[in-house]
Amino acid sequence: MTSALVELLRQVPPLPSEEPETILRLFTRLEEIHGLGLTDDIVTRILPLILGGVLTFLGDCLNKGVSWEQCKTRLLDEFFPHFVHEKLIWDLTVCNFHEAAQSLHTYIDQVFTAASFLGYNATEQQLVDHIVMNFHPTILAQAAFLERPRSRKKLYRAVGLTEEKFSFMKERQQIQPAVSASSGGDPRLSWHVLTGPNVGIVVILGIPGATATRRQPHRETGSCPEVVRPPGESPKWISKNCRDAP
């Protein structure tokens, strides 16, 4: 047994009870470890984590030479009655709502893993649709502007773009207080941030009837883009490429 497998199994908590949800939680984690291909005999390796009827069940699987896949199928028949099985599918896939503090990638993986283990008869597209609809409202508001993902791979890509946008918004919120303090906290002050491959970070401060500009040099060139605010009621910002800046 490899040291990596030993360490992974050490991090798996023992089965605390024979409740279907706790069994599912343990075996979906073991399924992830089994999927790494570190051992073909995972049933033997997990026996110290099991108790009671589940331990007896796994012992019977070992005596009959049952494979991991066959063991999972028999486990569902033995410990997940039809009503319980259907309810878990509903709770963990169809109506599993994403929490604001939960990692998006972790949430997506949990839904797909539960659906696979429980044998939920849904297409990849249907699972993706369930996940997107169950995103936290703050995530869903941003994801609504992206193209509808039609596969797990494209969903990961959309999530990456959404997380990148949230990261930028967080950075902008950190910049805003400093800008407001340096400008005297004028309530009429409007501000905007421009970014780009050749621009760096540019914070533009605009007061109706006047123009105030604060610029941060580009990291590589050390120069700043020229930023102009045309006169008028609506602030319209024009940024000149950093490479063309005087």
pLDDT at 194 over 50: no
> Of 2-6, 29-33, 76-80, 205-209, which has the strongest mean pLDDT?
76-80
Distance CA 163, CA 143 (A): 10
Distance CA 57, CA 164 (A): 46
Distance CA 158, CA 146 (A): 7
Predicted pLDDT at 175: 67
pLDDT at 226 over 70: no
Quickly count: other Cβ atoms within 10 Å of residue 132's Cβ.
20
Has this prediction a pTM greater than 0.75? no
pLDDT at 66 over 70: yes
pLDDT at 232 over 50: no
Bigger pLDDT: 8 or 195? 8
Strands 210-215, 200-207: pairing is antiparallel
pLDDT at 212 over 90: no
CB 155 within 8 A of CB 128: yes
Distance CA 25, CA 23 (A): 5
Distance CA 14, CA 142 (A): 39
Could you tell me the pLDDT band of residue 2, with boundaries at 50, 70 and 90?
Answer: confident
Predicted pLDDT at 176: 60
Q: Which residues contact 158 (CB under 8 A, 6 or more apart)?
A: 143, 146, 147, 149
What single-letter amino acid sits at 205?
L
- DSSP 8-state assignment for residue 35: T
Bigger pLDDT: 51 or 166? 51
Distance CA 18, CA 31 (A): 18
CB 34 within 8 A of CB 42: yes
Token readout for 70 is: 């066959």
